[in-house]
Chains A and B, each alone.
Chain A
Amino acid sequence: MGEEDGERKFRFVGTRPIRHDGVDKVTGRAQFGADYSLPGMLWGRVLRSPHAHARIVRIDTRAAMAIPGVKAAATSADLPEIEPGPGPANLAHLSRNVLAREKVLYHGHAVAAIAATSEAVAERALLAIEVEYEPLPVVLDLDDAMAPGAAILHEDLKTRGGKDAGPTNVAAITEYDRGDVDAGLAEADVTVRRSYRTQTVHQGYIEPHAALAQTGVDGQSVLWCCTQGAFTVRAYCAALLGLDVSQLKVIPTEIGGGFGGKTTVYQEPLAILLARKAGRPVKMVMNREEVFRATGPGAATHTEIELGARQDGTITAARVRMCFEAGGFPGSPAGAAAMTVLAPYEIPNYAIESLDVVCNKPRTAAYRGPGAPQAAFAIESALDELAEKLSIDPIDLRLRCAAKQGTRTPYGPTFKRIGLIETLEAARDSSHYKAPLGPDQGRGIAVGFWFNAGLNSSAEVHLNEDGTAIVATGNPDLSGSRASLAIMAAEELGIEVHRVRPVVADTDSVGFTDLSGGSRVTFATGQAVIDACRQVVRELRQRAAKIWDCDPDQVDFVDGRCVPAKGSGLSEEPLALAEVARQAGRTGGPINGQAQLTARGAGPSFATHLCDVEVDPETGRIEVLRYTAVQDAGRAIHPGYVEGQMQGGAAQGMGWALNEELVFDTQGVLQNPGFLDYRMPVASDLPMIETVVVEVPNPNHPYGVRGVGETPIVPPLAAVANAVRRAAGVCITRLPISPPRLLAALHDESGGDS
Chain B
Amino acid sequence: MTRMHITTCLNGEEIDFLCEPHQSLLHVLRDELKLTGTKEGCGTGDCGACSVILDGRLVNSCLTLAAEVQGRSVETVEGVAGPVSQAGTVGLHPIQQKLLEHAALQCGVCTPGIVMAVKALLDREPDPSEREVRYWLAGNLCRCTGYDKIVRAVLDAAAELRNLPEERQPA
* Contact surface of A with B, Cβ cutoff 8 Å: 16, 18-19, 21-23, 25-32, 34-35, 37, 203-208, 254-259, 287-288, 478-480, 638, 640-641, 643-645, 647-652, 674-676, 680-684, 686, 688-689
CB distance from A283 to the nearest CB of B (A): 10
Complex: chain B residue closest to A36, CB-CB: B36
Interface digits, B61-77 against A, CB 8 Å rule (1 contact, 0 not)? 00000000000000011
Given contacts A647-B148, A648-B143, 11 further A-B contacts (CB under 8 A): A19-B100, A30-B108, A35-B30, A206-B47, A206-B110, A206-B142, A256-B110, A257-B107, A288-B46, A480-B103, A644-B144
Asked if B159 is an interface residue, CB under 8 A from chain A, the answer is no
Within 8 A of A (CB), among B14-63: 30-31, 34-44, 46-47, 49
**B143 to A257, Cβ gap below 8 A?**
yes
**A26 to B100, Cβ gap below 8 A?**
yes
Tell me the bound Cα distance from A480 to B49 in angstroms: 20
CB distance from B24 to the nearest CB of A (A): 12
Asked if B10 is an interface residue, CB under 8 A from chain A, the answer is no
Within 8 A of A (CB), among B87-143: 90, 92, 96, 99-103, 105-112, 115, 130-131, 133-135, 137-143
Q: Which residues of chain A are near B103, meaning CB under 8 Å?
A: 16, 19, 480, 638, 640-641, 643-644
Tell me the bound Cα distance from A203 to B143 in angstroms: 9
**B100 to A256, Cβ gap below 8 A?**
no
Asked if B145 is an interface residue, CB under 8 A from chain A, the answer is yes
Q: Which residues of chain B are near A689, meaning CB under 8 Å?
A: 146, 148
Q: Which residues of chain A are near B40, meaning CB under 8 Å?
A: 34, 208
CB distance from A238 to the nearest CB of B (A): 27
Q: Which residues of chain B are near A25, meaning CB under 8 Å?
A: 105, 108, 111
A683-B151 in contact given A28-B38, A256-B108 (Cβ < 8 Å):
yes
Tell me the bound Cα distance from A31 to B80 in angstroms: 17
Q: Which residues of chain A are near B47, meaning CB under 8 Å?
A: 206, 288, 675
**B100 to A641, Cβ gap below 8 A?**
no
**A27 to B149, Cβ gap below 8 A?**
no
**B37 to A28, Cβ gap below 8 A?**
yes
Asked if B81 is an interface residue, CB under 8 A from chain A, the answer is yes
Complex: chain A residue closest to B116, CB-CB: A28
Q: Which residues of chain B are near A682, meaning CB under 8 Å?
A: 137-139, 141
**B39 to A22, Cβ gap below 8 A?**
no
A648-B144 in contact given A22-B105, A675-B46, A683-B134 (Cβ < 8 Å):
yes
**B106 to A641, Cβ gap below 8 A?**
yes
CB distance from A639 to the nearest CB of B (A): 9
**A21 to B138, Cβ gap below 8 A?**
no
* Contact surface of B with A, Cβ cutoff 8 Å: 30-31, 34-44, 46-47, 49, 76-78, 80-81, 90, 92, 96, 99-103, 105-112, 115, 130-131, 133-135, 137-152
**A676 to B44, Cβ gap below 8 A?**
yes
7 nearest A-B pairs in the assembled complex, by CB-CB distance? A28-B37, A256-B109, A640-B103, A651-B146, A25-B108, A479-B106, A647-B146
Tell me the bound Cα distance from A287 to B42 in angstroms: 7
Tell me the bound Cα distance from A641 to B139 in angstroms: 24
Tell me the bound Cα distance from A19 to B103 in angstroms: 8
**B107 to A18, Cβ gap below 8 A?**
no
Q: Which residues of chain A are near B78, meaning CB under 8 Å?
A: 27-29
CB distance from B126 to the nearest CB of A (A): 19
Q: Which residues of chain B are near A35, meaning CB under 8 Å?
A: 30, 36
**B92 to A26, Cβ gap below 8 A?**
yes
CB distance from B107 to the nearest CB of A (A): 5
CB distance from B91 to the nearest CB of A (A): 10
Interface residue from A207, A644, A675 paired with B149 (Cβ < 8 Å):
A644
Interface residue from B101, B138, B147 paired with A651 (Cβ < 8 Å):
B147
Q: Which residues of chain A are near B130, meaning CB under 8 Å?
A: 688
Interface residue from A23, A29, A478 paired with B100 (Cβ < 8 Å):
A23
A sample of 19 inter-chain contacts (CB < 8 A) reads A16-B103, A26-B105, A27-B77, A27-B81, A27-B92, A28-B112, A34-B36, A206-B143, A256-B107, A479-B144, A480-B103, A640-B102, A640-B149, A641-B103, A647-B148, A651-B146, A674-B46, A675-B42, A688-B152
**B39 to A32, Cβ gap below 8 A?**
yes
Complex: chain A residue closest to B80, CB-CB: A27
Tell me the bound Cα distance from A27 to B38 in angstroms: 10
**A683 to B111, Cβ gap below 8 A?**
no
Tell me the bound Cα distance from A32 to B46 in angstroms: 20
Which of B43, B108, B137 neighbours the largest number of chain A CB atoms within 10 Å of its CB?
B108
**B149 to A647, Cβ gap below 8 A?**
yes
Complex: chain A residue closest to B150, CB-CB: A683
**A28 to B77, Cβ gap below 8 A?**
yes
**B147 to A686, Cβ gap below 8 A?**
yes
CB distance from A631 to the nearest CB of B (A): 13
Q: Which residues of chain A are near B44, meaning CB under 8 Å?
A: 288, 674-676
Interface residue from B96, B145, B148 paired with A26 (Cβ < 8 Å):
B96
**A652 to B42, Cβ gap below 8 A?**
no
**B107 to A479, Cβ gap below 8 A?**
yes
Tell me the bound Cα distance from A544 to B43 in angstroms: 59
CB distance from A213 to the nearest CB of B (A): 18
A684-B100 in contact given A27-B77, A28-B38, A256-B107 (Cβ < 8 Å):
no
Tell me the bound Cα distance from A26 to B110 in angstroms: 10
Q: Which residues of chain A are near B133, meaning CB under 8 Å?
A: 683
Tell me the bound Cα distance from A258 to B108 in angstroms: 12
Complex: chain A residue closest to B112, CB-CB: A28
**B35 to A683, Cβ gap below 8 A?**
no
Tell me the bound Cα distance from A25 to B37 in angstroms: 9
**B151 to A206, Cβ gap below 8 A?**
no
**B115 to A648, Cβ gap below 8 A?**
no
Q: Which residues of chain B are near A32, meaning CB under 8 Å?
A: 36, 39, 109
**B138 to A683, Cβ gap below 8 A?**
yes
Complex: chain B residue closest to A255, CB-CB: B107
